């Protein structure tokens, strides 16, 4: 299932979909049941489209960038961020989730991790579904408010 709406969709439609999906998303501090359980038995809570708490630690998911939900620069970015988080949740619930942690931390202190679901790289899937853009963690992020 895809939650993607084209950039040409009216903002009102994005807002309506976004508000409906917002109720299904966890707050920045996870509460309640996890989104998924990794193959290693770790609880995974989706925070936004490229951030998850895994085994009680916060991780930036590498290889892609999604619109922000909690610090969006405009309503459209927030709406697209909600859709991206919903897409990630759907992917994580679709199969066995493997977590590969990498060394180092990103600029906000989060650990770095790559997720695969049933052998498919989540970054590739998020980019292919137009919920994310490729991102190397070093270059300047593109805006989502156009």
Question: Percent of the chain beyond pLDDT 70?
Answer: 79
pLDDT of 15 higher than 70: no
Query: How many angstroms separate the Cα of 15 from the Cα of each of 21, 23, 28, 75?
Result: 10, 13, 20, 8
Q: How confident is the model at residue 37 (pLDDT cuts 50, 70, 90)?
A: very high
**80-138 per-position pLDDT tens digit:** 999 999 999 999 999 999 999 999 898 889 999 999 999 999 999 999 999 999 998 77
Widest Cα–Cα separation across the chain: 42
Dihedral sign from CA coordinates of 37, 43, 45, 51:
negative
More confident residue, 139 or 62: 62
β strands within the chain, DSSP E:
36-37, 43-48, 51-54, 57-61, 63-65, 97-105, 111-117, 120-121, 133-135
- Residue 132: the pLDDT is 97
> What's the CA gap between 94 and 60, in Å, rounded?
21
- pLDDT above 90 (res 32): no
Distance between CA atoms of 34 and 99, rounded to whole angstroms? Answer: 15
Question: pTM of the full predicted structure?
Answer: 0.78
């Amino acid at each position: 299932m895809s939650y993607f709406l084209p950039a040409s969709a009216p903002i009102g439609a994005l807002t309506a979909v976004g508000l409906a999906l917002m109720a299904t998303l966890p707050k920045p501090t996870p509460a309640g049941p996890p989104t998924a359980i990794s193959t290693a038995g770790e609880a995974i809570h989706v925070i936004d489209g490229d951030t998850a708490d895994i085994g009680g630690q916060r991780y930036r998911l590498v290889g892609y960038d999604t619109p922000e939900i909690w610090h969006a620069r405009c309503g459209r970015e927030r709406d697209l961020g909600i859709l991206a988080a919903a897409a990630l949740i759907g992917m994580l619930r679709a199969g066995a989730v493997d977590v590969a942690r990498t060394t180092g931390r990103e600029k906000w202190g989060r650990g770095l991790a790559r997720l695969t679901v049933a052998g498919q790289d989540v970054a590739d899937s998020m980019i292919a579904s137009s919920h994310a853009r490729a991102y190397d963690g070093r270059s300047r992020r593109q805006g989502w408010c156009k």
